[in-house]
Structure 1
C-alpha cells in the first residue's frame, strides 16, 4: 500500500515537466451577516480572468500571472466592490476573503501563504468560522499547527482551549477522559485500535494532511451523540488551486535517547526500522504442525506423558527448540531522529469539470529512552501504621525505537459549481520496538533490594498499529430547490494492532541463587496478541433553507448515520516449565544457558525413559480471546431559526440505537462441546462470557446565540448526550498485568451513561484573527462508568456504573495582537487559554465499604480519571511575512490528575501536573523554509504519586529529555 503511494508521488513529480510560474487567488465571499454568497463573481478588473463562487461553500479560486491587480467582486443586489493593490506572486496563493457591506464599504482579510483554501486554513478565517458557528467550538488552523511544530494531530490538540492529550495520543477535553470525547475525520468517526480505549489514537494522523482541527464543546443534533467533553473533528486539507509540490526533511536530537550506547534492544528482523515485523517475531513454524493437536503436545503435563512416548517426546523437542531462547536483551548505539515527507497536488480539467488531486507520503523514525526511572507500588496495611506498606520499589529502564510510515491520496471532482465528489484514502502504520528492565526491591516476593538480594523483571516487545481509511464523500446544492444542501459520506476503515511475541520473565537474585519458582513468579512467557477491527460507516445530512425572507440563516436540517465495528481479538500465551533440566541457579542466571539447546526438550534417555528439561506449553486462557460487534444507528432533526436580528436558536432531537454484543471464545466452544456430547448448552457459562447491550437513547439540544454587537456573541446551551462502554470493558475476562499489577476484568452488566450539559460563553472578536472568550459549563452524569474494585480474594479491578457525578468549570481564552501596546509590537501576537475545572464522582458503595474497613477516613467520592483541575496554554508568536521570519514560543501546563485508584483503603494515584515549553523558529527564503525547533525545554519529571499520612509515595517517575530538531523544506 505504502509503496504504491510513494510510487504515485514520484510518478507525479517526474511527469510534471512544465512547472507553472503562475500564482493564484482564492477565498470566500460573505454577505453582511457573515453567510457565504453563492454565485458571486470575482475577477481581475478589466479582464475576464476570475471565477464564480461555488454553490456549496461560497468559495472561489483562479490562477493569474504574477503582478499587482485591482479585484472586482459583484453580486446581484449589491454594489460592485473594488479591491486595489492585490499582489499575486509566482507559485503562491493569495488568500482574499471578501465581505460585502449592506450599503457601501468592504472588509478585507488579506494574507499571503503557500497553502490554499483561506476559509479553512487561515488563522483569520477560522475566527470567522467560530464567530458564525451554531455551537461552542474552538478551531486551530493548519497554518498555526505548522508554526507550532506539531507533528501529529495529538500534538496540535494540546494548543486547543481546555484540551489535554494523555499518553501522547488520547484527547481529554475539559478534563474528561477519552470516553467522553468523540473523534471524527471529515465528520466520520475514527475507531480506536486500543482495546482499553474509546477514542482514536490521534498520533496516527500526521499534520501534513490536516486542514484544521475543530473542537466542538456543545452538542447539536447533527453531531455524534457520544461526547460530553468535546467532539473533535479533524478536517483533511482541501485540494490545491494550482500545481504544488514539496519535499521536507528534518533531523532531531534528544539528550537521553540519541547517540547512546546503552539503548535496550533485541533481534527483531530487517524491517523493524520501517515499523514492520518481517516474520522474525511470528510464532515458530512448528506450531502449524497438525501432530501437536493430535498428540496434545502443548499441554502443561506433557513432560510426564512424553517419558514413555517417543513420538510425543519428539514433538516436545521440536516445540522447545522452535521457540528457543528469546529472553536475552542487548544494547546498541542509536543515531539521530529523522523524518522525510513529500507532497504533490494540482487541478486538471476533465472535459469542462475541474479535477483536483493531492498526495502525501511521510516516514519518520525516532528513539526514546530513560534509564533512571522509578516504578513503585504501595498499599495501606490497615491498623494505625500511619504509612503505606511497600509492595515493590524498582529502578526502571525503558527504550523504545519507533517508526511511522504514512500517506494520503485524494481526488475531488467538480461536475458543476453546485456539486462536488471527493475520494481519499489515508494509510498510517506505526511500529514500536521496546526493551524494559525493572530491578530493585520487591517486598511482596522477599527481595530487599540490596546488591545481593534484588528482584528483576524484563520485557521485550514489538507492537505495530495500522489504519487504512477509504472515504467517499459528496456535497450537492440543489439550486432548483431553494439551495437545499445534501451531504453524504461513506467509508471503510481497516485497523489492526498486533503484538507478536511479547516476552516477559521475572526472578530474584540472592547471592549466587537465582529464584524463578513458578509458585512465586510468573513463568517465563511469550504472548502473541492481535486485534483486527473492520469499521463501516455512512451518513446523510440534508439542509433545507426556510423562512429566507426573515433570515438567510434559517434552515431545517435532518439526516442519519450508521456505524458498525466488527472486532476479533486473540491472545495466545506460551509458557516455559522445567522438569529435569538445569535450574536457573545452576545456569548461573544466564538465559542463554537456561534456554539453550542443551537444556531444552528431551535431554536424554535413561532406562527407556525420556528425561525432559525445559519445555513449552500452551498457557492461554480461552476467555481472553473474544469477538465483538458494535453498532450505532442514528436519526436526527434540527432547526436554525433567527428569532430576531440579534437572537438565533438552534434546537432539535437526535435518537441513537446502540447495540454491543461481545462473546468470548468460551461461548463458541460451549456450543460445540454441547452438540458433540449431545447435551444442552450450559447457559450460565454462556451468559457469564457474553455482554449484550441494546439501548435507544434520545438526545435533545437547545443552543442560543445572542449577538450583543457586531463582533460580540453570547452563547448558551442545554443538551443531553451519552457515553458508551467499549468492547473491552464489557468483555468478561481478566487481562494479565505485568509486574504483578492487578488483573482487570470486564463487566458485561455495564450500562450507558447519560449526561446533562449546560454551557455559557461570552466571546468578542475585536479584529481579524483576534478573540476574547469566557466560558462556563456544568455537567451532570447519571450512571457514570468508573473503575473500581472487583469483589474477590485477590486485588482485581473492573468497571461499574456509579450513581451520579458532577463537573463544572470555567474557561478563559484570548488571542490578541500586541500592537495596541506599541506599534513596534504589531508583529507580536499573544494567544492564551485557561481552564479551571472541578469534578467529583461517587465511588461504588461496595468499594467504599472495603475502603472504610481499612481506613475509616476513606472518602466516598473522587475526581474523574484524567481530569485536571487546571489547564493552561500560552503562545507568543512573532511573524514578519515580508522577511519570512516566524517565531513561536509555546507553553502548556496541566494540574495533577487522577491516574488510577489505589488498592483497598489506599489513597488514589495521581499523575503530577507539569509544564512544557517549546520553541520554533523558521525562516522562508524564496521557496525554501528552514526551521529550528526545541521541545520539552523544561524537561519535567513524568511522575505519578500518592500522599498518605503527610508522606508522598512515588509510583512512577522518569524524564523524557530535551529535544532539538532542524528541518528544511522546499515547495511551490
Structure 2
C-alpha cells in the first residue's frame, strides 16, 4: 500500500503544477512531375509562426512541439506551385498527417490532400520516423500497418519482425532463436503475467489487432525496462479511442480440416460451451461420490465460431479537457483433432522406444475477452487512463493412447489402452492506472500502477489405464488385472492463483535547448516494482486396483459399467490420495507450493546528442530480487527455499546517422534470466503422457552479456533494408534436461558455467509498386509490398553433470559435453506479400500471404546415452484477406497452416562430442533418431463478417 500512496502523492503534485503539452504534424510530399516519387528538400511552414521543417530524401517531414490549435500550413519548392492547406487541426498528444502531392505546372486541389489525425502510435509514417530517430533497436508496428498487412493478432504481427518465429503449440514467440524464458511481455509498459503456468509470457494471439494501438519490439536492453531480459521486450500499447462514437459487431465461423475429417468427434461429460466450467471435489470422495462419467461421448459437427462487439466515444469537458472510452467483448471457440505417434525415450542398445502409442487427441477450446479503457485529459498536459482486461481461456481435450506402455513390463506386446480427459481453464484479469504529466517544456512525470491476477484450474482430470488380460494376447479382452500403479486410474484437481502488483514511476529532465526548440540532452530517473504472491494446491484420487485374481473384463469405452457394478465395497478397488486412504490422518490435505516474489528496482538514463549525427543513450539499473518458495508434498515433505540476489545492470546505445537515409547503431548491456516459480517448485507435474516435469529449488539466475551492431537503410517512406550482427555470453545458463531416474522425468538446472550465442539478421521491406489513380471523387491507391527477413544463430554451451549433481538434488548424465542452447533454432525465415487496393473512398481489399520457417531446436538436452530431444523445423503458410464494402460492412477470410506440415519431436541418436568420462552413462544409443511425438494439425479456415453502426 505504501507504494500506491507514494505514486498517487507524486501524481497529485504534478497535476497542480502542470502546463501545456503539444502535438505534431507529419507527412509525405510527392512529386507529380515524376510519377509521384518522394519530393526531397521542400519547405514546410506553419503560417504565422516560426515553426517549420524540410522534407528528407523520402519526402518525409515532421514539425514537433506544436501548440494545440488550428493552423494554415504552406508547402513550397523552387519551381513548383506553393500549396497552402488551411484549417489544419493539431491536438495535444496527437499526430496530424498531411500527405501532399506537388506540381510545377498547376496547384493542387484540396481534395487531393490526405489529412488524418491519430495517436502517434497508430501512424505508420510517424512510427517510421520514430524508428529512424530511435537510438535503441526498437521496431514498432502501428494500427495502420497492421490493417494494411492483414495481421489479425499480436502473434501474427510480431512474426513480421526479423528473427521472430512462433512456438509450436502456442503463440509464444522465439526471438533470435531464444525462447519463452528469455523474453518479456508488457502492456502499456507494465509487466503482464502469463495465461499458461508452463510459460513465462502471455499468449500473444489473445490480443486481437482491434484492441491494439501499436506493438513495440525492443531487442536491445534499456535500463528503464526490467532486467529479466535476454531476447526482446514486447510491449503492447492498448487502443485509446478519441474519435466520435462508433459501435461495431463482428461474427465469424470456420473449421479445421483434421477435425472435420475425424470419423467421430469425441469429448466427455462435464465442461460446458462457454469455457467457464469448474468442478469442486466431492463431499464423499473415498466412496466414489463423483457424478461425472469416465467415458467419452460423441459431439456434434466441430464447427468453430466467434462473435465480437466493440465501441467507443469521447466527450469534451469544458474547453480544455476531454473524456474518452473504448470497450470490446468477444468470444470464440475452436475444435481440433490430431492423430499420430507418441513414444517414450528409447531403450539403450536396441533404440526401441520404451513406450509406443498410436495417439488421438480431440480438443475444444474457448477464448473470452473483455477489454475496456477510460481516458481523461485534464487541460492539455495531463493524461490519466484506466485499462481493464479479462481473458478466460479453456481447453477440453479427450486423448486416447493404444499400444505398448512399457516394453519390459506393461503390455510389452501391445494392446495397452490409456484414456485421459482434461479440462484446463485460465482466467487472467489486468487492471492498470496510468498517468502522464508535462510539468514544463523541460520536465515531465510518468507513472503507472497495475494489479494482475491469474487463476489456473484443472478440475476433475480423469485417467484410465487398461491392459490385456494376458500379455501374450494383445488383441484379447482388457482388464485392470495387471495394472499395478495406484495412480494409473485417477481423478485430479488443481488450482493455482497468482496475484501481482506492479508500479512504474519516472521523471525526465531535458536540458541544452537547441536551435530547433528541442533539447540535446535528457536525463531520466525512476523506480519499478513487482510484488507477486503464488498459491498452488493439487489433490489426486487414485483408484488402486485390489483382488487382482478376480478382476473382470472391462470395455475401454464403457468404464462406467465397471464402477457401477463393482462399487467401493466390492473389494475390487479402493480410493487413496498420495497421502493415504480414508483412514489415514490428513489424507485429504492437498500437496501445495506457494511463495512471494519481490523486485525493487531503480534506474537512471542519459540521452545526449553530441552532434546532429551522433547520439548516446546510457543507463544503469539496480534490481533487488527476492523469491521465496514453500512446499508440502509427499515425496519432498514440508520445506522452503529462498532466492535472494542483487543485479547491477549497465546499458549503452550509440547511434550515428551516416546520412538522411542510413543509420549505424551499437548497443551493449548486461541483463539476467530469472527462473520461474514452476521451475523452482519441487512438484511433479504430470501434464502429458510420457512427459512429466518437476521443479528444482536450487535453480539460480543466469547472467546475460549482450552486444548488437546494426546498419539500416530507408530507401523510401515504407521501405527498409538492414543488416545486424549480435552476440550473447550467458553465465550459468538454464536448460531443461532429463533426470537420471527410473521415471525419466524432466527438470530444470543451471547445466554449465557458460554459453555463447552469435548471429546475424538481414531484413528487407520493399514496395514492388505503389500507384494512385484519379476518379471523379478521389485518388485511389494500389500497393503491392514484399517483406522478408532471415536470422542465423550459432549457440554453444558447456554441459557439466558434476555441477548439476553438486548444486541440486538431481543426478544428470548429459550424453554430450557441449550442446546448442535449449529452444534455439539456427535459422529463422519470415516472408510476406501484401496487396492493397481501393475501389472507392469506402471500399478496399487487403490480402496477405505470410510464410514462416524455423530450423530444428532442442526441446530437452540428451541424457544417459541418448541424443537430444529435438523439435523438427517446418514451414507454415497463412493467407488472410479483408474486404471493406462501404462505411458499414466488411468481410474477412483466412486460411492458416495451408501446407499442413508434419509436426515432429525426435530423440536423436548420440553423436558428436560424447561425454565418455561420465560414470552415470551406461552406454550410447546407436542407430537413427526415434520419433517421440508426431502429428499434423490440419488446415484452419474461417470467414468473418462485421457491421459498423
The interval holding the TM-score normalised by the smaller chain is: 0.7 to 0.9
Check 1:232–1:583 CA distance in 2 against 1; reply closer, same or farther (3 A cut).
Answer: farther
Corresponding residue for residue 65 of structure 1: none
Is the 1:788–1:798 contact (alpha carbons within 8 Å) kept by the matching residues of 2? yes
Match of 1:345 among 312, 315, 320: 312
Question: Is 1:914 matched with 2:871?
Answer: no
Corresponding residue for residue 226 of structure 2: 224
* Partner deviation per Cα, 1:775-826 (whole Å, 9 max, x = no partner): 1100000111122344545533332222000001111111111139999996
Report how far residue 516 of structure 1 moved. Answer: 4.9
Corresponding residue for residue 836 of structure 1: 792
Q: How does 1:783-802 map to 2 (within 5 A)?
A: 783-790=732-739, 792=741, 794-801=743-750, 802=752
CA distance in 1, matches of 2:69, 2:721: 31
Question: Is 1:730 matched with 2:680?
Answer: yes
> What TM-score does the superposition give when structure 2 sets the normalisation length?
0.81
Report how far residue 42 of structure 1 moved. Answer: 11
CA distance in 1, matches of 2:489, 2:329: 41
Is the 1:457–1:739 contact (alpha carbons within 8 Å) kept by the matching residues of 2? no
Question: Is 1:773 matched with 2:722?
Answer: yes
CA distance in 2, matches of 1:256, 1:276: 26
Is the 1:259–1:335 contact (alpha carbons within 8 Å) kept by the matching residues of 2? no
Question: Is 1:276 matched with 2:276?
Answer: yes
Q: Secondary structure at the match of 1:131?
A: helix
CA distance in 2, matches of 1:504, 1:407: 34
Question: Is 1:862 matched with 2:839?
Answer: no
Corresponding residue for residue 547 of structure 1: 512
Is the 2:26–2:63 contact (alpha carbons within 8 Å) kept by the matching residues of 1? no
How many residues matched? 836
Structure 2 portions without partners, runs of 5+:
1-21, 29-39, 50-61, 76-81, 101-106, 469-473, 580-586, 774-779, 910-925
Q: How does 1:519-534 map to 2 (within 5 A)?
A: 519=484, 522-534=487-499
CA distance in 1, matches of 2:95, 2:892: 23
Is the 1:97–1:109 contact (alpha carbons within 8 Å) kept by the matching residues of 2? no
Bigger drift between 841-850 and 505-514 goes to 841-850
Report how far residue 829 of structure 1 moved. Answer: 0.7
Corresponding residue for residue 930 of structure 2: 953
Q: Secondary structure at the match of 2:354?
A: strand
Bigger drift between 824-833 and 639-648 goes to 824-833
Corresponding residue for residue 3 of structure 2: none
Q: How does 1:117-516 map to 2 (within 5 A)?
A: 117=118, 119-166=120-167, 167-258=169-260, 262-269=264-271, 272-277=272-277, 279=278, 281-286=279-284, 319-323=286-290, 326-352=293-319, 353-370=321-338, 372-381=339-348, 385=349, 388-444=351-407, 446=409, 453-479=414-440, 482-509=441-468, 510=474, 511-516=476-481
Q: Secondary structure at the match of 2:658?
A: strand
Structure 1 portions without partners, runs of 5+:
1-25, 44-53, 63-69, 75-80, 100-104, 288-318, 604-611, 671-683
Report how far residue 206 of structure 1 moved. Answer: 3.0
CA distance in 2, matches of 1:443, 1:188: 48
Question: Is 1:29 matched with 2:18?
Answer: no
Check 1:685–1:87 CA distance in 2 against 1; reply closer, same or farther (3 A cut).
Answer: closer
Q: Secondary structure at the match of 1:121?
A: coil
Report how far residue 158 of structure 1 moved. Answer: 2.4
Bigger drift between 323-332 and 552-561 goes to 323-332
Check 1:58–1:655 CA distance in 2 against 1; reply closer, same or farther (3 A cut).
Answer: farther
Question: Is 1:819 matched with 2:789?
Answer: no
Q: How does 1:564-603 map to 2 (within 5 A)?
A: 564-579=531-546, 584-588=551-555, 591-592=558-559, 595-603=562-570
CA distance in 1, matches of 2:442, 2:686: 58
Corresponding residue for residue 646 of structure 2: 696
Is the 1:809–1:837 contact (alpha carbons within 8 Å) kept by the matching residues of 2? yes
CA distance in 2, matches of 1:376, 1:57: 63
Is the 2:491–2:540 contact (alpha carbons within 8 Å) kept by the matching residues of 1? yes
Check 1:695–1:40 CA distance in 2 against 1; reply closer, same or farther (3 A cut).
Answer: farther
Q: Secondary structure at the match of 1:257?
A: helix
Q: How does 1:634-653 map to 2 (within 5 A)?
A: 634-653=601-620
Report how far residue 751 of structure 1 moved. Answer: 1.6
CA distance in 2, matches of 1:768, 1:209: 26
Bigger drift between 254-263 and 501-510 goes to 254-263
Is the 1:839–1:864 contact (alpha carbons within 8 Å) kept by the matching residues of 2? yes
Match of 2:857 among 877, 897, 919: 897
Check 1:156–1:905 CA distance in 2 against 1; reply closer, same or farther (3 A cut).
Answer: same
CA distance in 1, matches of 2:130, 2:948: 28
CA RMSD of aligned residues (A): 3.8
Is the 2:304–2:333 contact (alpha carbons within 8 Å) kept by the matching residues of 1? yes
Is the 1:29–1:40 contact (alpha carbons within 8 Å) kept by the matching residues of 2? no
Corresponding residue for residue 5 of structure 1: none
Is the 1:525–1:574 contact (alpha carbons within 8 Å) kept by the matching residues of 2? yes
CA distance in 2, matches of 1:837, 1:577: 50
Q: Secondary structure at the match of 2:344?
A: strand
Is the 1:96–1:111 contact (alpha carbons within 8 Å) kept by the matching residues of 2? no
Q: Secondary structure at the match of 2:415?
A: strand
Is the 1:55–1:418 contact (alpha carbons within 8 Å) kept by the matching residues of 2? no
Is the 2:296–2:557 contact (alpha carbons within 8 Å) kept by the matching residues of 1? no
Determine which structure has the larger helix proportion and give its number: 1
Q: Secondary structure at the match of 1:323?
A: coil
CA distance in 2, matches of 1:737, 1:141: 38
Check 1:149–1:817 CA distance in 2 against 1; reply closer, same or farther (3 A cut).
Answer: closer
